[in-house]
Every structure is written in C-alpha cells, then in structure tokens.
Amino acid sequence: MKQPRRAVPQDAEEVIRLRKVMIDSYVGPSTDVTWMPSAIATLRGRLSSPDSAWAAFVVDRTESSGLAACAVGIIEYRLGSPGNPLGTTGHVFSVATDPDMRRRGLSRACMRALLGWFREREVGRVDLRASVEGAPLYASLGFVQTPDPAMRLTL
C-alpha cells in the first residue's frame, strides 16, 4: 500500500471528485456538479499555504493517475474551555475512497496522517460526522458518540 502524503493545490480537483463519490454514496447519485468548480478553487487556495488551518492527506493510485483516497480537515480556533484549554478543535470531513479501492486501509491511513497533523498543532479535540459505513473506522481510531445535538440554519 502506498503511504498517504499531504495534498498539494494540484490535488484539489481529485479531492473534490472523491468528495462527490462520498456524497453520492450516502445521498444517492446526483448529476449536480455546479458546486464543484467553487469547491476546487476554495480547496486549491487553502492547500497553497503550508501554515493553513486546512490540510488534506491523500493516497495516490498505483495503477493509474489520480487519487484513491483522501481525508480533509480544518482547525478552528475558539476560546478555551474546561475540556479544551487551548480552544482548538479539528473538524474532519471528506473522508473518501474510490469504490474499487475500498477495504485496503487507505482511509484509515489518511485519517491517521490527518490525526497526526492535528496532534502536531496541539488540537485539543477532533469532531466529525460519520456515515453508518464509516462509523466503525472512526470508533477504531478512538472516536466516540457525543451528546451534542447538531443544529443548522441555512442562510
């Protein structure tokens, strides 16, 4: 298995392609790709600085060009609290593996690399939302269910 590496701006298109694979896997296939150019531009910009609060770790395909898997995360800086004195919170999103590359440990490898990046930056807590299929992977890495109910307002 190839080792994960930190994504560079040139990987943005492939990471967003994998994000669509992930989204399609839990909401069903969609022909709406209008969001993708904006997402590619945003990610490309965020990956352009090594000091960015964003990072992505990817595994390259071995038999062809492109990526096989990825995990993306950001660091949010908030006021400290009893459970998180520095106030740093990592958020994991866009953990995806191409269907033909699954069950090889690629997402696990990307997640371990991303968690290492968070640790290097003294992130006190890491949050994510897990699909039913992804939950066992995250639980094996030490993630637990939280009592916090999520709420959202779309503006």
Percent above pLDDT 90 for the chain: 79
The whole-angstrom separation of Cα 22 and Cα 24 is 5
Question: Could you give the C-alpha distances from 97 to 20, 59, 129, in angstroms and in order?
Answer: 11, 9, 16
pTM of the entire predicted model:
0.93
Query: Does residue 50 have a pLDDT over 80?
Result: yes
Q: Is 144 helix (H, G, I), strand (E, B) or coil?
A: coil
Domain 5-140 sits in CATH at 3.40.630.30
- Name the residue ranges covered by the structural domains of the chain: 5-140
CA distance 19 to 25: 10
pLDDT at residue 108, as a whole number:
97
Region 42-63: what's the mean pLDDT? 94
Q: Average pLDDT, stretch 95-121?
A: 96
